[in-house]
Structure 1
Amino acid sequence: MSDPSRLARRSLLTGGAVLGAGALAAACTSNAPKEDAAATQNVASGGDNDKPGAKVTIGFSAPAADHGWIAAIAKNAAAQARRYSDVTFQAVQPTNDINQQISAVESLIAKKVNALVILPNEGKQLNQVARKAADAGIPVVNLDRVFPDKLSYRTWIGGDNYGMGVAAGHYIGRKLKAGNASNPVILEIQGIATLPLTQERSKGFADALATYGYKVTARQDAKFTVESGNQVAGNLLQAHKKIDAIWNHDDDQGVGVLAAIKQAGRKDLFMVGGAGSANAMREIKAGGVLEATVTYSPTMASSAVRIARLIAQNKGMADLVEQEVPQSITLASETVTRDNVDRYLPLGFES
């Protein structure tokens, strides 16, 4: 992800148009109660592959839903599975404890499920148990945080972390360049600094800014939580009396970041968010400090369940010529602004 020549790439989620259309339709036409509608808004249907086939059991493991994006991951996965009469969905207790997640996945292996969808707390630490599943003949769909050993998973699906940074860097770089900014103060608030996905986001951001002759002035991580976002932002605001722009990696922690900015009464800056939460999009629509967010959609969980079902049933993807599901699928990172926010708002998750 470190090659600057990749700045212009645009990754493609196969069937993304179908996914988006299905999600929009669900959001606009559902007669379900509000909570149920939110849980099912990011599901999709399409093609003969959706016709009932061999009955399969799909196991699912993810971290605890301690913030909006992870909560949306779990809801989307379960909602997608409910669409299929041939799928039994077995979700284990979500946890942020590595050893507990390993034990939970081992329980699914012991039950001999037909496929596994795993969003690991940390890819390296869960790699061994994923490999155990693969060696037992259970295909693993690795969601988001990647296992380092490709033999540990059949297919990986996730967001374009480098592309997120690139998108944020281009938005900030273009705006500052248009304003003839010289030596601007650009701050970056990461999620968890030790995660490879965070490092890829930072690399993309730095590479994009460099094309405008800019660089990050200060960087600090905020652990993906509202509380840490508020504390980190407050410290950065005190340390920098002049700020031109902030890129915040995560819209969940962005709730705290925005609160700190508003409390400090700072109007000398603009901010770009990350992931595409509904509350961030509402802030963008209202106008103010938050001008944009770059997507990292939890719809990937819906797609992961669909992919696991196809693999377990020995099917390929209907829109592809190839007979089998691809080894990796990367979602495109899209920039949401006031100009296009109404189109993306139905797909936003609640922080």
Structure 2
Amino acid sequence: MPAHHHPRPVRRHLVGAVVLGSAALLAVSGCTNNTPAPAPAPAQSSGAGAGSGSSNDAAGQKVTIGFSAPAADHGWIASITDQAKATATANSDIDLKVAAGTNDVNQQISQVETFINDKVDAIVILPFDGAALTTVAKKAMDAGIPVVNVDREFSDPNAARVTVLGDNYGMGVSAGQYICDQLQGKSDAVVAEIAGIDSLPLTQDRSKGFKDALAKCGQDVDNRVAADFTVEGGEKATSNLLQAAPKIDAIWNHDDDQGVGVLAAIKNANRSEFFMVGGAGSANAMREIQSGNGVLKATVIYPSTQGADGVKLARLLVQKKGLSDIQEVEVPRKVQLYAPVVTKDNVDQYLGTAFES
């Protein structure tokens, strides 16, 4: 399942003046010489701009980062914290202080308060409730501690310096496009959807993306049920769906954790006339895709690397570096990760960072 800004001093470089001066000299020489003047080289900066020569991967200033996320009661959430820890271990200049996972909003607020009192260098947080954690995140920002907001967005953009997001709408689009490609214009196709929790904006975004993508190839959602991101919920909702729809050509299931129950219900009903696309990208779903033996033929990624990405971005913020493969000298304000489709053809590329359901 699933997501802010305190001004900090902008680094000023004398190199800008040098480049302007060089450009002026080149303009003069261009008036007196028939040979075209070469373009001035782009300005270089530490850890930003031209990627060759970047030192972002080399150990730098020691950075203490506070990390807080919900309780690991879901494979995707568990992976968020596990991958954040693994990233810290792999970088000797990161000291990651991991708070106990909690679904208690007040406890998570207290964790952030503790990080502020301990004067950590940065905080990475996947809030259980983005709106509820906004005030304390803003307090951290006001204390000069950059906050990286993961997945569930705060209600005030000034409560974080960077926000790392998956792409819920994009998941729906990717799933819909894949199904369109597989149906190849079949006019009487029956497409079904097994959503997550309908009251959540993320579920609504996924469903909208799916509907929009299907519309472009003349398809629509013929049967739809909602589960609750659990194995039990997935099995129950799918049983209801299969009873209501005696014939189906394609199914998109929003979440691979609930997908364990979805596949169990399909097996119990002895149905196999359709193909299925999963969601989020669990390792067990990818292994099922890899086998090629069942109805699950693809899954759409909702990266569980978001916490790890947040930790790496927090490290760069504190060390006053940018992203080495872009010219901008600062870390971007928002990073939204892509929602690729994983099939048997490319599963090996994604299995290494997949979470276990």
TM-score bracket, normalised by the shorter chain, equals: 0.7 to 0.9
Corresponding position of 2:72: 65
Cα drift, residue 254 of structure 1: 0.6
Cα drift, residue 62 of structure 1: 0.6
* 1:302 and 2:298 matched: no
Corresponding position of 1:40: none
The aligned runs of 1:12-161 (5 Å cut-off) are 47-161=54-168
Corresponding position of 1:195: 200
SS of structure 2 residue aligned to 1:223:
coil
Judged with a 3 Å threshold, the aligned counterparts in structure 2 of structure 1 residues 48 and 295 are, in CA distance, closer, same or farther, namely same
Aligned counterpart for 2:338 among listed residues 321, 332, 337: 332
Cα drift, residue 47 of structure 1: 4.5
Corresponding position of 1:255: 260
Q: Which is helix-richer, 1 or 2?
A: 1
Distance 2:106 2:222 in 1: 38
Cα drift, residue 50 of structure 1: 2.6
Identity across aligned pairs (percent)? 60
Gaps of 5+ in 2: 1-52
Corresponding position of 1:30: none
Distance 1:89 1:81 in 2: 6
Aligned counterpart for 1:238 among listed residues 225, 236, 243: 243
> In structure 2, what residue type is equivalent to 1:100?
Q
* 1:223 and 2:228 matched: yes
Cα drift, residue 336 of structure 1: 0.9
Tell me, yes or no, if the aligned pair for 2:223 and 2:245 is still in contact at 8 Å: no
Cα drift, residue 343 of structure 1: 2.8
SS of structure 2 residue aligned to 1:125:
coil
Tell me, yes or no, if the aligned pair for 1:122 and 1:195 is still in contact at 8 Å: no
Judged with a 3 Å threshold, the aligned counterparts in structure 2 of structure 1 residues 94 and 169 are, in CA distance, closer, same or farther, namely same
Cα drift, residue 141 of structure 1: 0.7
Single out whichever of 277-286 and 99-108 deviates more from structure 2: 99-108
Single out whichever of 127-136 and 62-71 deviates more from structure 2: 127-136
SS of structure 2 residue aligned to 1:123:
coil
Cα drift, residue 66 of structure 1: 1.0
Tell me, yes or no, if the aligned pair for 1:166 and 1:204 is still in contact at 8 Å: yes
Cα drift, residue 132 of structure 1: 2.0
Asked which structure has the greater CA Rg, the reply is 2
Corresponding position of 1:26: none
Tell me, yes or no, if the aligned pair for 1:170 and 1:209 is still in contact at 8 Å: yes
Cα deviation per residue 1:177-218 (whole Å; 9 max; x = unaligned)?
34x232x33222222323322222111111101101222223
> In structure 2, what residue type is equivalent to 1:325?
V
Distance 1:191 1:313 in 2: 39
SS of structure 2 residue aligned to 1:156:
strand
Corresponding position of 1:5: none
Tell me, yes or no, if the aligned pair for 1:281 and 1:341 is still in contact at 8 Å: yes
Distance 2:80 2:269 in 1: 33
SS of structure 2 residue aligned to 1:166:
helix
Gaps of 5+ in 1: 1-45
* TM-score, normalization by structure 1: 0.82
Moved over 6 A (4+): none
* 1:316 and 2:325 matched: no
Cα deviation per residue 1:84-108 (whole Å; 9 max; x = unaligned)?
3322211111012222222222222
Corresponding pairs, count:
304
Distance 1:65 1:127 in 2: 22
Tell me, yes or no, if the aligned pair for 1:145 and 1:197 is still in contact at 8 Å: no
